[in-house]
Chain A
């Protein structure tokens, strides 16, 4: 949820837009303009740059000029003339041109080196300046990412709290009929007509608070009028692993005894046609209970008739409202939990996870949608 303080009774759209834009600017730490980043960098590291600029560039190394006549130059004109006259004689002994060329080239190399040094100094200046700007930019980006991580962390925390609240809500509904149950309920193999339920961990209450998860959902599926709400052939939160036969029988007896007692209970699902309680997923609390045998027969019928589960979905057509159909109001709290309707109805959850639904093709023109 956005952190805006909008006074809903007196709406000012321009003010709201101002708040939204300010918030976006705040979130986008990295979206400074180039000039802004430069300014920030200059402000932050101004002293360092200033020091760097103030530092005097090193003196260029001393150099000399050496031409072809440099060897024979003299302050005295007479000497210059004499050396010029004797130069052919000197050339009989050594070759002074090679020496002159080498020294000339060396002087040129010295000059070029000095020039390179000077330009390199300017490059260093530029490079450091750019590095400072990049550093400033990265700093801003890191700050922005840090804020984003914090935001995500708070959102995660919120989600976790929400999950805990939802779990506690589920547990809260349980105590009315909570009774000791074995820690593991072994179920007979499921009927092939319905698809396996989603992973049970999603809906199981915390083990510390509810040792027997199955009955804890019962009130959610029961309508206020005491009618059985959904066929619900779901072994809720339990896998089809079969335990020893003795345990199985004991558990069945216990469940039947529970039904006879009149309190609401949830059938854990069983194979149809065996008289076992695999039918209506929930008997209503405190309501007169049907004969278990009839209930089982009805359940078996529902188990084999998968489309019937649709009849109890919230988005069934208007023609569905009536009779034993509790209507969507009964299932609304379950919708908030997100996972329960799919467990109840033996189908995929509606909405976001099922793109094909809701198009025109599946609209009112399709009379089978949501039809019983």
Chain B
């Protein structure tokens, strides 16, 4: 099957939830199908500046066709336009102008899709709110699948998005809460839909220093939970001898990350864009309250820094880490905090759960609350007081953390397996192709 994937930006270096989801799905689908990604040359969503070269490229086994944007985003003008359009009566032309100002504005991509649409058996659009999706869905509605990644966003109320959600042949959701949100907002939806979710790779057995014991062999991989942090040698482990070659302070869970970044005591970890829009400003404020209330943890932030961080001894910036270091950080963390108020994906939360670290999520994000409640692997906060209390509880109670870690791993193992996720996609693709 030849699959076309349309996404606003694509690349291994691109940070962003839906972009990462798209890349992970594309890489896995590429093993079975002929996958072609149609995207723009932009890397930064705040400017949509053309940074990648135009033309065909190959990224981790996936063919990528990039098209140049004709304009960059004027942030001030876009904000003005957003304010006007959200609060005042407006026409469809106004909404299209808003879409153009939001970017990426890439007529070449749309034109290419118009000319070559027949080549693709199914065209998958990631993220509902950008121009390539809005305009591309008009071209191939019957063969299109929309992975909406919708969240409670004022933009969803615009009329152009009613058409976007009504047009595709199938809709894919990441969580049940996203599905409920979309159903609540749009009456006319395609009959074919499914909660496909996202897959997370469970960390496999690795001798040193990350994961001394195999995960899937014993009951829930308890030995890798935070409670068992100090017991790297476990009976029946093939790598025991290898592990024993190293001192205990190196094989302990998360020891490498802790030593590398000179972190002592409990760690509260955040990973992703460090941005007020992602709830980081609120996170810092709440964490400050936690420390003033007697908390002794260190807030460690990893990712791209897009806001100033206070010069406090209990706030550390770890920078942009590699996948391996990121995993080590998640293991080293006492609690992983997910402060984004409108996160529909929350890959960070799932990754944290997969390594057995409990999460503390923003209660405004329905998807995160759903993960917490369904997995029993994390708590959620609606205000500063709840943040402080939840964090105190999680930091203080090691047994609770261990139990939540076990629950989280079980949840990810049950619900976020890539074979299950890809199976759902395959079924949808088959139905869309057969329906023509």
Given contact pairs A13-B378, A358-B263, A363-B260, a sample of 8 additional A-B residue pairs in the complex whose CB atoms are under 8 Å apart? A1-B392, A4-B397, A11-B400, A316-B259, A329-B248, A351-B262, A352-B314, A358-B316
Flag if B393 contacts A359 (CB, 8 Å): no
Flag if B393 contacts A4 (CB, 8 Å): yes
Report whether over half of chain A's contact residues are helix, strand or loop; otherwise say mixed: loop
Indicate whether A11 sits within 8 Å of B376 (C-beta atoms), given known contacts A335-B264, A351-B265.
yes
Indicate whether A2 sits within 8 Å of B376 (C-beta atoms), given known contacts A315-B264, A329-B248, A357-B262.
no
B319 within 8 A of A: yes
B residues within 8 A CB of A357?
262
Flag if A321 contacts B316 (CB, 8 Å): no
Give which listed residue, A13, A314, A351, A352, contacts B379 with CB less than 8 A.
A13
B residues within 8 A CB of A17?
379-380, 386, 390
A224 within 8 A of B: no
Flag if B318 contacts A352 (CB, 8 Å): no
Flag if A23 contacts B389 (CB, 8 Å): yes
Flag if A321 contacts B319 (CB, 8 Å): no
B residues within 8 A CB of A1?
392, 396-397
**CB interface residues, A 313-330, toward B, < 8 Å:** 314-318, 321, 327-329
Flag if A6 contacts B248 (CB, 8 Å): no
Flag if B318 contacts A360 (CB, 8 Å): yes
Flag if A16 contacts B298 (CB, 8 Å): no
Flag if B259 contacts A16 (CB, 8 Å): no
**Distance, CA A155 to CA B386, complexed state (A):** 20
**CB interface residues, B 361-420, toward A, < 8 Å:** 372-373, 376-380, 385-386, 389-390, 392-393, 396-397, 399-400, 402-404, 407
- Can you identify 22 A-B contacts, CB atoms within 8 angstroms? A8-B402, A9-B399, A11-B376, A11-B404, A11-B407, A13-B379, A17-B386, A17-B390, A20-B393, A24-B385, A24-B389, A28-B385, A316-B259, A318-B256, A321-B247, A321-B249, A335-B264, A351-B265, A351-B313, A352-B314, A358-B263, A359-B316
A12 within 8 A of B: yes
Residues of B within 8 A of A (CB): 247-250, 256, 258-265, 294, 296, 298, 311-319, 372-373, 376-380, 385-386, 389-390, 392-393, 396-397, 399-400, 402-404, 407
Indicate whether A359 sits within 8 Å of B385 (C-beta atoms), given known contacts A20-B393, A350-B264.
no
Flag if A351 contacts B264 (CB, 8 Å): yes
Flag if A24 contacts B373 (CB, 8 Å): no
The chain A residue with its CB closest to the CB of B399 is A8
Residues of A within 8 A of B (CB): 1-2, 4, 6, 8-14, 16-17, 20-21, 23-24, 27-28, 155, 314-318, 321, 327-329, 335, 350-355, 357-360, 362-364, 369
- Give min CB distance, A129 to chain B, whole Å: 32
**Distance, CA A20 to CA B390, complexed state (A):** 7
The chain B residue with its CB closest to the CB of A15 is B376
The chain B residue with its CB closest to the CB of A335 is B264
The chain A residue with its CB closest to the CB of B319 is A360
The chain A residue with its CB closest to the CB of B264 is A351
Give which listed residue, A8, A11, A364, contacts B260 with CB less than 8 A.
A364
The chain A residue with its CB closest to the CB of B256 is A318
Flag if B373 contacts A14 (CB, 8 Å): yes
**Distance, CA A315 to CA B317, complexed state (A):** 17
Give which listed residue, A8, A321, A360, A369, contacts B317 with CB less than 8 A.
A360
Flag if B262 contacts A6 (CB, 8 Å): no
Contacts between the two chains (Cβ within 8 Å), count: 118
B residues within 8 A CB of A318?
250, 256, 259
- Give min CB distance, B332 to chain A, whole Å: 12
**Distance, CA A11 to CA B373, complexed state (A):** 10
A residues within 8 A CB of B263?
351, 358
**Distance, CA A122 to CA B86, complexed state (A):** 47
The chain B residue with its CB closest to the CB of A329 is B249
- Give min CB distance, A251 to chain B, whole Å: 37
Flag if A358 contacts B261 (CB, 8 Å): yes
The chain A residue with its CB closest to the CB of B317 is A359
**Distance, CA A8 to CA B393, complexed state (A):** 12
Indicate whether A13 sits within 8 Å of B372 (C-beta atoms), given known contacts A2-B392, A315-B262.
yes
The chain B residue with its CB closest to the CB of A23 is B389
- Give min CB distance, A363 to chain B, whole Å: 5
B residues within 8 A CB of A8?
397, 399-400, 402-403
B residues within 8 A CB of A12?
376
Of A13, A352, A360, chain B has the most CB atoms within 10 Å of the CB of A13
The chain B residue with its CB closest to the CB of A313 is B262
Of B294, B315, B376, chain A has the most CB atoms within 10 Å of the CB of B376
Of B256, B311, B312, B313, chain A has the most CB atoms within 10 Å of the CB of B313
Flag if B373 contacts A9 (CB, 8 Å): no
**Distance, CA A256 to CA B247, complexed state (A):** 36
A residues within 8 A CB of B313?
351-355
**Distance, CA A239 to CA B133, complexed state (A):** 73
Flag if B376 contacts A321 (CB, 8 Å): no
**Distance, CA A134 to CA B385, complexed state (A):** 25
A residues within 8 A CB of B378?
13
**Distance, CA A128 to CA B23, complexed state (A):** 68
User: Closest 7 CB pairs between A and B?
Assistant: A360-B319, A8-B399, A358-B262, A355-B313, A1-B396, A351-B264, A352-B313
**Distance, CA A23 to CA B399, complexed state (A):** 21
- Give min CB distance, A72 to chain B, whole Å: 73
**Distance, CA A186 to CA B261, complexed state (A):** 40
- Give min CB distance, B386 to chain A, whole Å: 6
- Give min CB distance, A355 to chain B, whole Å: 4
Indicate whether A355 sits within 8 Å of B312 (C-beta atoms), given known contacts A8-B403, A24-B386, A321-B250.
yes
A residues within 8 A CB of B247?
321, 327, 329
Flag if A11 contacts B403 (CB, 8 Å): yes
**Distance, CA A90 to CA B265, complexed state (A):** 108
A residues within 8 A CB of B396?
1-2
The chain A residue with its CB closest to the CB of B402 is A8
- Give min CB distance, A358 to chain B, whole Å: 4
- Give min CB distance, B368 to chain A, whole Å: 12
B residues within 8 A CB of A11?
376-377, 400, 403-404, 407
B residues within 8 A CB of A355?
311-313, 315-316
A residues within 8 A CB of B318?
358-360, 363
A residues within 8 A CB of B390?
17, 20
**Distance, CA A328 to CA B259, complexed state (A):** 11
- Give min CB distance, A55 to chain B, whole Å: 44
- Give min CB distance, A27 to chain B, whole Å: 8
Flag if A327 contacts B249 (CB, 8 Å): yes
**Distance, CA A361 to CA B380, complexed state (A):** 33
A residues within 8 A CB of B402?
8
The chain A residue with its CB closest to the CB of B258 is A315
Indicate whether A155 sits within 8 Å of B294 (C-beta atoms), given known contacts A21-B386, A351-B264.
yes
**Distance, CA A314 to CA B312, complexed state (A):** 22
